[in-house]
Amino acid sequence: MTSPSSEALVPERGAGTHGRVPYKWIVFSCTTLGLLMAMINASSVLIALPAIFQEGREHRK
């Protein structure tokens, strides 16, 4: 028995996906974008917290 050549195991470019982006890259992109949005939200809330608490103190007086 002969083993198949390594060239035979490599699919042609775009074979099977028909020009679509593979699912793993879609998942990676969505995860990265979600993490970026969460970090921006957390940092903006952290910056705004002192002003929020100051406004609350002034409102109670």
pLDDT in tens, the chain (61 residues): 566 666 666 656 655 667 888 999 999 999 999 999 999 999 999 999 998 888 777 777 6
Q: Which pLDDT value is given to residue 18? A: 75
Scanning 14-61, the segments in alpha helix (DSSP H) are 23-60
Q: Which pLDDT value is given to residue 17? A: 60
For residue 59, give both structure tokens.
Answer: 């409102």
